[in-house]
Structure 1
């Protein structure tokens, strides 16, 4: 009865989703059930992994080459097995949970020599009995969503049915590399910016996509290649233009699929607000072959409410790929960021299926979230076939530099924090008073003038400025839109800095009417000649 119970437990454990227990790598043909002493003849090696402080690190969602080889050519191996597993699998079945463990994916390259194991999960084994001096297997590391997952790659090689090996020389333990990817902004977004000033910035997008830098499956008609307008905004912490792992907006979908930023620009303008949403529309020139390497510029403003910026640039041709950065933080503890430059690599909007620049477009069903273009793809039609992100050359460079800083003269930037402090102090005082039976405070005593919170008056709204010239999606002719703005008399919140770069904002001595509309837009048309 006890034996039956144990077998049932092991059977149930074997069927649990994820890593189903420690793989027994004993060769099926072995007549000796214990491995021979590991004398360092056979090795397991991983390429492109980061080695630091005697530890090996992997970058999430990347492809790595695993090689099993012999150091003595006259000592080949006949059989092998390689397994990706969580090191905690060494614990017994009652201590180790197999559920939702991502150990990456092993990929077999030569179906004549290797195959996926039918006895062990996440394992590849020999497909024939020939002598081998080396075998290459690819491993795709766990997704970004996995938190600090450690993975052990364990191999077995057998010279014959009596001599087979495992051990340290055939085992690699990999830890998740928590360092930022090369295209990450230098600072993480912060909820509150305490800088009592505003700043003006220039953002410069310089294309690097070329046949020389990216030769694999480069478009067959390069004269039709191009980037869309650079479209973006300076914005608040709670605003998202686009984000990895989130669904693409209609504006991002149009930009990525059609290199048309019209909807995205309208959405940015509609979300402009004094303390939330967006502040400045970022718009740079579109670039086509042969001028794709020429920079695209734009100016924008930031303040302590709108202290981040995001941009996106569509690529043509592509299924739904784009370049850009999301929630780039400019507010630092040392002041407004002076200058920074990051490389840009393609992102996938998740709305169209396609593996290459010129793939036939089909709608993704269901719609995927925004993610990195499949670098390390095992599809030979992909420009990123079996490639590591560290080996991929940038498709563009994005540079942001600070031009001016404008102190907010007369503005009390710490006012909100002081009010919160006063409220906390009052709540603490009330708690103490409840514990005291004799309260000597005179209830009729007047409140000190400096402790009163006097509401600010409403700013008057100025007249509407003239309508802007008609702006079309391709910069030439056709349907477009024009905008006009008006301002609060006391604060130049949405001034057109590109037309008047010397303009400086006044101090804020009054509150804005939250229902007042500061920007309007309407459709227009430019004749094609």
Structure 2
């Protein structure tokens, strides 16, 4: 009896531990949405319109006219919840994002999204055709489910080293209500995988890769950069996304391209012209004097235009300069 009384408390503790572990294993999973989960009772269908505003008037510096001309890649969009990221500013680009930002390929991104869909963190994927010019539209109809109310999308800037525009985890649902309409501007991002400065820069891998960063009028702060406009506080919109909820029952056919673009979206939007100042090279060395100093000999130096001005930018300065010869720079002519 004494030995049983001594062992009983330990046996009870083990039993309580097993019961507690079983209870915790059956508990509801932790809510990772921080109370922002969509509680809408039904899906929602949206028309999504991408509009490019890339023109020589808004972005005159090094504007690509050929090989290839300015254009946009296919658009890739994903609906998802907060446990998935297609891309994220300040984070390192995935291998799929690297492939897309540099080459416009979506194979790896689609593969990763399909794997995430098996885990129910991705809802659907959509792609539209590319736009063969800097100004134009592409559209698709997107179906959102309450369990995947976030939208992420990307479009590559062509040509460019690894530049793109996009949206990261835009929430179309507030509590139990779907938003009706959204319009917002897109600005260029650098994927951090290629170190090229200009639209037509050759492939020059960034090792190690850098984080994804937004390109601004002064970042990168280098005159060679194609988006470097030091006179501007911010760049004009490079593109725009417009989303409008459809009144009809949501479609269930993915990748269906819609022609229901509002009439005013077919009209080109007007943006202020971006002034582009002239850029010239350094002066060449002075040439030899044209004659003896006593006869008024002259010497010359030249420079050439690196970048022609546009849109009322600062005109180019003189490209040739001369001065009278002095004793220390004069070439005597016999």
- TM score, norm. by length of structure 2: 0.61
What are the equivalent positions in structure 2 for 1:400-419 lying under 5 Å apart? 400-404=243-247
Alpha-carbon separation, structure 2, partners of 1:405 and 1:273: 29
Q: Secondary structure at the match of 2:167?
A: strand
Is 1:394 aligned to 2:237, yes or no? yes
Deviations 1:350-397 (A, max 9, x none): 100012212232110111111112531331111232537753111111
Deviations 1:143-180 (A, max 9, x none): xxxxxxxxxxxxxxxxxxxxxxxxxxxxxxxxxxxxxx
The 3 A distance-change label for structure 1 pair 226 and 500 is closer
1:189 and 1:308 in contact (8 A); partners too: no
Alpha-carbon separation, structure 2, partners of 1:258 and 1:189: 37
Count, aligned residues: 225
The 3 A distance-change label for structure 1 pair 311 and 335 is same
The 3 A distance-change label for structure 1 pair 347 and 302 is same
1:228 and 1:255 in contact (8 A); partners too: no
1:496 aligned partner: 253
Alpha-carbon separation, structure 1, partners of 2:237 and 2:124: 27
Is 1:326 aligned to 2:168, yes or no? yes
1:190 and 1:329 in contact (8 A); partners too: no
Alpha-carbon separation, structure 2, partners of 1:196 and 1:389: 46
Q: Secondary structure at the match of 1:363?
A: coil
1:300 aligned partner: 142
Task: Calculate the aligned-residue CA RMSD, in Å.
Answer: 2.7
2:128 and 2:257 in contact (8 A); partners too: no
2:40 and 2:176 in contact (8 A); partners too: no
1:378 and 1:386 in contact (8 A); partners too: no
Alpha-carbon separation, structure 1, partners of 2:129 and 2:243: 16
Alpha-carbon separation, structure 2, partners of 1:316 and 1:356: 11
Alpha-carbon separation, structure 1, partners of 2:34 and 2:73: 27
1:384 aligned partner: 227
Q: Secondary structure at the match of 1:383?
A: coil
1:371 aligned partner: 213
Cα displacement (A) at 1:237: 1.5
Q: Secondary structure at the match of 1:254?
A: helix
What are the equivalent positions in structure 2 for 1:113-512 lying under 5 Å apart? 191-221=36-66, 223-273=68-118, 276-289=120-133, 292-333=134-175, 335-376=177-218, 377-387=220-230, 390-404=233-247, 495-498=252-255
Deviations 1:271-299 (A, max 9, x none): 2147x32111121111113xx42211112
Deviations 1:111-152 (A, max 9, x none): xxxxxxxxxxxxxxxxxxxxxxxxxxxxxxxxxxxxxxxxxx
- Structure number with greater CO (CA < 8 Å, separation at least 6) is 2
2:125 and 2:254 in contact (8 A); partners too: no
Deviations 1:419-448 (A, max 9, x none): xxxxxxxxxxxxxxxxxxxxxxxxxxxxxx
1:209 and 1:395 in contact (8 A); partners too: yes
Alpha-carbon separation, structure 1, partners of 2:244 and 2:110: 23
Structure 1 residue runs of 5 or longer lacking an equivalent are 1-187, 408-491, 502-529
- TM score, norm. by length of structure 1: 0.40
Alpha-carbon separation, structure 2, partners of 1:227 and 1:499: 20
2:140 and 2:257 in contact (8 A); partners too: no
Alpha-carbon separation, structure 2, partners of 1:192 and 1:393: 34
Alpha-carbon separation, structure 2, partners of 1:382 and 1:229: 25
Deviations 1:86-133 (A, max 9, x none): xxxxxxxxxxxxxxxxxxxxxxxxxxxxxxxxxxxxxxxxxxxxxxxx
Cα displacement (A) at 1:261: 2.1
Alpha-carbon separation, structure 1, partners of 2:55 and 2:35: 36
The 3 A distance-change label for structure 1 pair 355 and 341 is same
Alpha-carbon separation, structure 1, partners of 2:210 and 2:166: 18
The 3 A distance-change label for structure 1 pair 311 and 389 is farther
